[in-house]
Amino acid sequence: MRTSIPETILVATLVASAALTNPAAAAPSAPWPPLPAEAPVPADNPMSPAKIELGKKLFFDPRVSVDGTVSCNSCHNVMEAGDDDRATSAGVHGQRGGRSAGTVYNAAFLSVQFWDGRAPSLEEQAKGPVTNAVEMGMKDHTVVVGRLAAIPAYVTEFEAVFGKGGLTIDNFAKAIAAYERTLLTPDAPYDRYMKGDESALNEQQKRGLQTVLETGCIACHQGATFAGVLPMGQGFYQKVPLIPGSVYDAKYDLLSDTGREQATKNPADRNMWRVPTWRNVALTAPYFHNGAVPTLDEAVRVMAKIQLGKDLTDAQVTDIVAFLGSLTGKFPQQTMPRLPGVEGKSVVPADPK
Amino acid sequence: MRTSIPETILVATLVASAALTNPAAAAPSAPWPPLPAEAPVPADNPMSPAKIELGKKLFFDPRVSVDGTVSCNSCHNVMEAGDDDRATSAGVHGQRGGRSAGTVYNAAFLSVQFWDGRAPSLEEQAKGPVTNAVEMGMKDHTVVVGRLAAIPAYVTEFEAVFGKGGLTIDNFAKAIAAYERTLLTPDAPYDRYMKGDESALNEQQKRGLQTVLETGCIACHQGATFAGVLPMGQGFYQKVPLIPGSVYDAKYDLLSDTGREQATKNPADRNMWRVPTWRNVALTAPYFHNGAVPTLDEAVRVMAKIQLGKDLTDAQVTDIVAFLGSLTGKFPQQTMPRLPGVEGKSVVPADPK
């Protein structure tokens, strides 16, 4: 969905639709179902414990960056909320990217990846940062595979999981994606509420939910992830700002990065962005594609203004922020991977460029 | 010990002494005892599970660096061999330090910390990197404490472990040190050999051990850590090169960093270095204080030449390297910490300097 639909109509439709199909529809005005316990798994990348463990190692291994300093976890820190607390992330050689790292938690439920939606799957996403010059800085995928091939235990593990000749960039991505499909945060207060526990949300959070519905936020923040997954399974993009001209355009530099247009080269996609998830949003400050909005209350205020043309009261903002806190789920307890070593030498070049 | 002792005399003394006092003296020419199962604990920093867990969180938390990118684990990666596979480490803003990160594993057994031994304890060591401009870049310890104080769950945890007002830089260091005292790698093949399992070392490793003894390497690489802990418990320093003038002085830039002299300002300490541990040395390439020596076989060859004046044969080098591999121990399996979050904002400044 690339064009804007009048929000009030859409919201009314969605809420009505949700009420009809939602098993917990008795809970008043809670439109989206609880987070599923498991993520969808593509047919060509079935899960296995060995694949997940290999993917976890790769996710944490800084040796897949040119100078051995940046791992997937550097910017998508699973010990925090799956991001990095920074406006934009730090890559190799002190470089800084232009967009804020999205959380890896529950990314497995998203139909497209990256702020501009340019990757249709976790597998495609995982192949990007390794060769991005300002992220991990590897020259190409051959170098990535060559680096891993220099670590004998990785060769063995790839072959155990994927068969002979299993160490390829596609299997690198598949293993990481399999691990990422375990990074789910179910059982948030919202989920318990939707399953019938009325006490799981406090009164303020319930007011916040009602305000979210009435204000129209869920026109875009759809589905169990509140991340705009349409029923037909397509990625959901939205123009930001939808109502340009506010003071926020300049204050938070909302227009200079043209978003999805950079991926599609289609002027109709200018300033279109994938709708970010609300899951764990209380823990993923700062906000927006460029991380320019420092606090969640300001993000709520700005979004209501630039997307829906509404000036929320401070009380409304506070209530919505309280509701958003009810989407902080339970993070999985994980064991640390042991990264395979190489005897007597480092696989990281002495002076990588 | 800051002055050099003729190696041959020292070695003879030590080997004789070890043979007299070593419970496994029946094993021929194995001079040092197995790694103890537990590290020494200072009276003023007793261990507790809550303190260790807090220390683990702090060890992994990049928010103790000015821009939120560097944690203790960035350079002392406990998922690898406790170091970072790099010649010198990467700090904030793409800066690079001048010395190679030492492994944190078994550091709890060392009587002094840092290459120049300037910290007498793990607690003192832990306070250094946070305010080092090229490492974590915090202005001073007040800023470190202030950053942590902005994270409510940390305040609560510090008080639970250390009592009211417990969030201080000294307690920050104590918690990290307590965690580090769990980072031990016992039960290496060498340890099993010293406990009587003759088959724990293969023939090549046994030859390597014999070569180590005969060559004189253990004049400095003393004790269960092979890191130069004298019986009287003092730190052990040695001049490198002890025999200057070889091609290696220039090739590996061995003289420009004057080592312990920089800490003591005493010209007698010029080019004196703390003896590094051999524990897990096969996994901690590259080598030497500046990481300039890329491989373990070259490190062995160079050390024999510049410290003992001996030209080892290739076979001797290979045997010693095989023996050193027998000092790779069992790394503890660990759960990942959950780093406490802050709701709705980041504690990392938007544009840290």
B15-28 pLDDT, tens digit per residue, is 434 433 343 433 43
Tokens linked to B225: 């850590």
Instruction: Please report the pLDDT score of residue B10 as a whole number.
Output: 38
Contact, A351 vs A225, CB < 8 A? no
In angstroms, the CA A78 to CA A55 distance is 13
Q: Which residues contact B164 (CB under 8 A, 6 or more apart)?
A: none
A297 with B344: Cβ contact below 8 A: yes
In angstroms, the CA A91 to CA A74 distance is 9
Other Cβ atoms less than 10 A from the Cβ of A262: the count is 14
Chain centroid offset of residue A13 CA: 26
Contact, B242 vs B259, CB < 8 A? no
Instruction: Please report the pLDDT score of residue A235 as a whole number.
Output: 62
Please determine, for residue B216, whether its predicted confidence score (pLDDT) is greater than 90: yes
Low-confidence ranges of chain A (pLDDT < 70): 1-30, 229-235, 353
For residue A67, the chain B residues in CB contact (below 8 A) are 86, 90
Average pLDDT, rounded, for chain B: 90
Catalytic residue among A7, A135, A157, A298: A135
CATH class of domain segment(s) A49-180: mainly alpha
Please determine, for residue B279, whether its predicted confidence score (pLDDT) is greater than 90: yes
- pLDDT band for position B236 (cuts 50, 70, 90): confident
Instruction: Please report the pLDDT score of residue B352 as a whole number.
Output: 76
Q: What value does the CA radius of gyration of chain A take, rounded to a whole number of Å? A: 21
| CB pairs < 8 Å spanning A and B | 129
Q: Could you tell me which chain B residue has the CA closest to the CA of A76?
A: B69
Taking the Cβ of residue B59 and every Cβ of chain A, the question of whether any pair is shorter than 8 Å is answered with: no
Give A255→chain B minimum CA distance, Å: 19
In angstroms, the CA A167 to CA A154 distance is 8
pLDDT, tens only, B287-317: 999 999 999 999 999 999 999 999 999 999 9
Chain A (12-51) residues lying within 8 Å, Cβ to Cβ, of chain B: none
How distant, in Å, are the alpha carbons of A14, B59, B141 from that of A324? 19, 30, 34
Cα dihedral value B227, B230, B233, B239, nearest 10: -70
Domain(s) labelled CATH 1.10.760.10 in chain A stretch across 7-31+187-325, 49-180
Query: For a pLDDT cut of 70, what percent of chain B falls above it?
Result: 89
B67 with A78: Cβ contact below 8 A: no
Chain B (289-318) residues lying within 8 Å, Cβ to Cβ, of chain A: 291, 294-297
User: Taking Cα atoms as reference points, which of A201, A208, A218, A209 lies closest to residue A314?
Assistant: A208
In angstroms, the CA A185 to CA A183 distance is 7
First to last CA, chain A: 41
Cα dihedral value B222, B223, B224, B228, nearest 10: -50
Taking the Cβ of residue B329 and every Cβ of chain A, the question of whether any pair is shorter than 8 Å is answered with: no
A80 with B339: Cβ contact below 8 A: yes
Cα atoms found within 13 Å of the Cα of residue A311, Cβ hemisphere only? 2
Tokens linked to B296: 């373990």
Tokens linked to B80: 């690898």
DSSP states along A322-338? HHHHTT--PPPP-BPPP
Burial A108-118 (b: 16+ CB within 10 A, else e): bbbbbbbbbbb
Q: Could you tell me which chain A residue has the CA closest to the CA of B347?
A: A85
B86 with A68: Cβ contact below 8 A: yes
In angstroms, the CA A59 to CA B340 distance is 21
A344 with B286: Cβ contact below 8 A: no
Contact, B278 vs B220, CB < 8 A? no
Name residue B345's beta-bridge partners.
A295
CB-count exposure of residue B234 (10 Å: 0-12, 13-18, 19+): middle
Angle at A239 between CA A233 and CA A244, to 5 degrees: 160
Other Cβ atoms less than 10 A from the Cβ of B281: the count is 25
Other Cβ atoms less than 10 A from the Cβ of B152: the count is 12
Name residue A287's beta-bridge partners.
A293
Contact, B324 vs B282, CB < 8 A? yes
Instruction: Please report the pLDDT score of residue A107 as a whole number.
Output: 96
For residue B81, the chain A residues in CB contact (below 8 A) are 341
Taking the Cβ of residue B339 and every Cβ of chain A, the question of whether any pair is shorter than 8 Å is answered with: yes
pLDDT, tens only, B190-202: 999 999 999 999 9
Which residue bears the tokens 């926020």?
A248
A335 with B331: Cβ contact below 8 A: no
Chain B (172-211) residues lying within 8 Å, Cβ to Cβ, of chain A: none
Tokens linked to B189: 């093949």
CB-count exposure of residue B210 (10 Å: 0-12, 13-18, 19+): middle
Active site annotation includes B135: yes
Pinpoint the alpha helices (H) of chain B. 7-21, 49-60, 72-75, 122-126, 141-149, 152-162, 169-180, 189-194, 203-215, 248-251, 260-264, 296-308, 314-325
Catalytic residue among B135, B157, B180, B298: B135
In angstroms, the CA A260 to CA A302 distance is 21
Check if CATH label 3.40.640.10 holds for domain B7-31+187-325.
no
Q: In a mutagenesis test of the A interface, which of B288, B335, B345, B348 is the best target, namely the one with the most A β-carbons within 10 Å?
A: B345
In angstroms, the CA A112 to CA A263 distance is 13
Chain B (83-112) residues lying within 8 Å, Cβ to Cβ, of chain A: 84-87, 90, 93-95
How distant, in Å, are the alpha carbons of B55, B144, B217 from that of B31? 34, 44, 12
User: Taking Cα atoms as reference points, which of A3, A7, A2, A5 lies closest to residue A303?
Assistant: A7
Among B84, B93, B341, the residue with its CB nearest the CB of A94 is B93
Instruction: Please report the pLDDT score of residue B229 as a whole number.
Output: 64
Instruction: Please report the pLDDT score of residue B31 as a whole number.
Output: 78
Chain centroid offset of residue B46 CA: 21
Query: For a pLDDT cut of 90, what percent of chain B falls above it?
Result: 85
pTM of the model: 0.92
Instruction: Please report the pLDDT score of residue B228 as a whole number.
Output: 79
- pLDDT band for position B270 (cuts 50, 70, 90): very high
The dihedral sign for the CA sequence A255, A256, A261, A263: negative
Contact, A104 vs A160, CB < 8 A? no
